[in-house]
Structure 1
Amino acid sequence: MSTTSTTGRVALVTGGSGGIGQAVVERLAAEGYFVAVHYASNKAQADAVSAKIVEAGGKAIAVGGDVADEHAMETAFDEAEAAFGGIDVVINTAGIMALSPITTLNLDTLDRMHRTNIRGTFVVSQLAANRVRPGGAIINFSTSVTRTQMPTYGAYAASKGAVEAMTMILARELRGKDITVNAVAPGPTATSLFLEGKDEATIEHLAKVPPLERLGQPDDIAEATAFLAGPGRWVNGQIVFTNGGMA
């Protein structure tokens, strides 16, 4: 059994001001982590999440920046290190999902999504690989659609396939540094990003797909992420499908 203590460990969570990212931030803070809550544009929301943690007796700050901008993210890492003395865990939940058949997808949309999902993950992973302390963890985010291959998800799944490749290779490149690198691949999860634009019938159908017959909740994803961030030290170079048993 792992004896990794989470109290006082420092986590930087991109996209931490809402959705799954916020659930991850709140779970880690409850386990004693000091948390840097990253935002791309909604500083007020990130400040509110941080303030809630501080009011509950935890430690948190908000840090901003475009994940695909290496200079902005270097500053975010600097701010987290200055506030807390170092970084142990980097969790990259930030991402964009645009749905369309491949035959009709606007290429500007493709470029925008891939800039955030692929370049953004690369930038954050590169910085994390050079700055996370021994005993730490890097956790990226993929999607179960890389396996389920649902129509209209082609470009999004392609971007997350790239995330999976980066994750698995980086885990091997960090041999000897005592840093784990994994990816979490959620299935349908009840976030505003997922629910937006879907009618009730579609949502009900997707909720019945997993054998557990419900949508995932952000807390379900946060639980798996917290395991990889702390006690799951023997899980490395893996894609962890957190989807209630979908194929």
Structure 2
Amino acid sequence: MSPRKAMQQIVDYKNDPGNGYTNSLLCFMQLFIVSNRSNTWYFANNASEHFRFDADEHFLPLYQWAAPDNKKITHLDDFAEAFLAKCTLAEMISRYTVLIQSERKLMMMRPYQIYAVQAIVDCIQQNRGNGYIWHTTGSGKTLTSFKASTLLKDNPDIEKCLFVVDRKDLDRQTRQEFNRFQPGCVEENTNTETLVQRLLSDDYTDKVIVTTIQKLGLALDANHRQPYRQRLKPLRDKRMVFIFD
């Protein structure tokens, strides 16, 4: 059974000027759950313009919960036990929901994105060395990286978190996406000098940096005509996080 009917009922409730919930306490809800008991879905509460269906009558975006091995948890009882546990639900609302401020839109993260973020943060906090996350095109890698960077930004033991891409157009694209999720959270590094200055900055807004591998390579090149590497020596014993796309 499709969740279309339940979704349409929620849309109708939202748009009902007399009996709708827009002027009640229900408007403060951050997420909805719909189920026919056998299949269960969750999605973010948003303004009416963000509730839409595609050509195949599928609501976008609507997600099913899954275990860390990506096995779907669809039955309502199993879903409630896994998803509605107090700690899990609190984390979904406080840590794994992203507000796109420019669009006044909430985004719920998919299960695999959440597990990826948890793995990144745990690996760094436990100092377990390097690791990699494999995601397909269009799977939301930028959102995963943004959320991981945001959580790491609040870790006082980490000096900087660098998101490194391999070409200039990705640098611009990633910055635009990061700033879409949180306006002004990353700035453009117009050249290597700007990158070095931001690496040495104590400003909290410079803690997450998006840069190209070419600029980073020049900053660490001992043979470069500018003494970038020498200037970066104070960072040698600091904890630095590098996320490569």
TM-score, scaled relative to structure 2: 0.26
> Please, what TM-score do these two structures have when normalized by structure 1?
0.25
Greater C-alpha radius of gyration: 2
Answer 1 or 2: higher relative contact order, Cα 8 Å, separation at least 6: 1
